[in-house]
Amino acid sequence: MLITPRAEEVNQVVAILESGEFSGPEPMAKALIKQIADILSYREWWVLTHRFGNGQVGVNWAPFASQNEALKTAHRIALNGKFSAIKLHSSGALLANLTSSRRKGWCQVDGCGHADWVHLMNGTTRGKCGLESCPCTAYQK
Residues that bind Zn ion (CB under 5 A): 107, 109, 112, 114, 129, 134, 136
Q: Which is nearer to Zn ion, 56 or 124 (CB)?
A: 124
Closest CA to 103 of 38, 13, 36: 38
Three-state helix/strand/coil letters over 99-132: CCCCCCCCCCCCCCCCCHHHEEEECCEEEEECCC
Q: Which is nearer to Zn ion, 85 or 112 (CB)?
A: 112
Q: How far is the CB of 93 from Zn ion (least distance, A)?
A: 7
CB atoms within 10 A of CB 31: 16
Q: How far is the CB of 119 from Zn ion (least distance, A)?
A: 6
Q: Which is nearer to Zn ion, 70 or 109 (CB)?
A: 109
Q: Which is nearer to Zn ion, 70 or 129 (CB)?
A: 129
* Burial state string for 68-107 with b = 16 or more CB within 10 A and e = fewer than 16: ebbeeebeeeeeeeebebeeeebebbeebbeeeeeeeebb
| Greatest extent of the chain over all pairs of C-alpha atoms, in Å | 58
Q: How far is the CB of 120 from Zn ion (least distance, A)?
A: 10
Q: How far is the CB of 87 from Zn ion (least distance, A)?
A: 16
